[in-house]
């Protein structure tokens, strides 16, 4: 991470005109602070009369010191996969619903980003997953996931059948609607809905959460973050692997899926005083009395 931040990218939720006003507001604020401002090309289409340089996400990844994402958690997930390999830190402004990752509000955006320009922030490193599909000893697809990698069925009438190995050791064969391999970040997403535990984001672990397993003895397990998880597909009538609800790839019989931790983490910036437990209380409504 390069500090002080001299070039800042503002990235809005794609195909959403509502982000135009806050993007322009933040852009003018940053410019007044002497910061070079760039915006992503897709969001720039909604910024009528703007004077900021527009770039593609790939260009932004190589050119900026900080990226401010205005949108929801889904927007930040998509952006993080592109920026993390280049070590670009990300600050999130919530214009969605939950906001587990985008923890600045619209009302605190200028004060929060201003404090970050002054060095008043905390950093957090969160791991990414890399999942590769191997077919006939050839890698045919690979992608990154911030929340989870999911093997699941398209057809509701069929089940997924696969073998699981961890660090080369056989663990089990399973029939289920699917399997979620989740990071700690993703533990409050699909994995939680499927009955997995909430994992603190500072933990260097991964979890495997079966979706509606055929056997009631199959339960979520947590493994070390450096583990190599291997799935061998035994039945694939209509199954695929999904990366963060963003990218899909269809699987075939005997395909092998290998999931490991990506070599570079996502770097998130939070306001000083940020508390993960406060986020849980607020987003999961734990502070409400019965």
Catalytic residue list: 73
Placement of tokens 């320009």 in the chain: 117
Cβ proximity of 7 and 63 under 8 Å? yes
Cβ proximity of 56 and 29 under 8 Å? no
φ, ψ for residue 117, nearest 5 deg: -60, -30
CA distance linking residue 52 with residue 37, whole number of Å: 6
CA nearest to 67, candidates 48, 34, 28, 93? 93
Partners of 250 in beta bridges: 240
H or E segment at 73? helix 73-83
Distances (CA, A) of 86 to 44, 73, 148, 265, 282: 22, 20, 21, 10, 32
Strands 160-166 vs 229-235: parallel, antiparallel or unpaired: antiparallel
Distances (CA, A) of 21 to 47, 50, 68, 76, 257: 8, 11, 14, 19, 43
Helices (H) and strands (E) in the chain, counts: 7, 18
């Amino acid at each position: 991470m390069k500090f002080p931040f001299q070039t800042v990218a503002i990235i809005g939720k794609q195909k959403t005109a509502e982000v135009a006003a806050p993007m322009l507001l933040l852009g003018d604020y940053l410019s007044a602070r002497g910061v070079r401002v760039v915006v992503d090309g897709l969001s720039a289409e909604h910024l009528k009369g703007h004077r900021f340089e527009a770039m593609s996400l790939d260009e932004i990844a190589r050119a900026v010191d900080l990226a401010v994402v205005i949108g929801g958690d889904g927007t930040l997930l998509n952006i993080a996969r592109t920026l993390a390999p280049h070590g670009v830190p990300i600050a999130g402004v919530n214009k969605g619903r939950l906001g587990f990752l985008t923890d600045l509000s619209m009302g605190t955006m200028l004060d929060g980003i201003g404090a970050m320009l002054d060095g008043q922030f905390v950093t957090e490193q969160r791991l990414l997953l890399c999942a590769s599909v191997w077919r006939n000893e050839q890698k045919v697809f690979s992608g990154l996931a911030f929340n989870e990698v999911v093997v699941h069925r398209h057809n509701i009438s069929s089940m997924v059948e696969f073998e699981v190995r961890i660090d080369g050791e056989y663990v089990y064969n399973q029939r289920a609607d699917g399997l979620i391999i989740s990071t700690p970040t993703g533990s409050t997403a699909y994995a939680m809905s499927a009955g997995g535990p909430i994992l603190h984001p500072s933990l260097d672990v991964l979890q495997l959460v079966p979706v509606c397993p055929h056997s009631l003895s199959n339960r979520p397990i947590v493994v070390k973050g450096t583990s190599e998880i291997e799935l061998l597909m035994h039945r694939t009538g209509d199954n695929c692997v999904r990366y963060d609800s963003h990218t899909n790839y269809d699987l075939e019989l005997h395909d092998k899926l290998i999931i490991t931790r990506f070599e570079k983490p996502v770097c998130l910036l939070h306001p000083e005083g940020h508390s993960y437990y406060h986020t849980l209380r607020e987003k999961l409504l734990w502070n409400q009395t019965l």
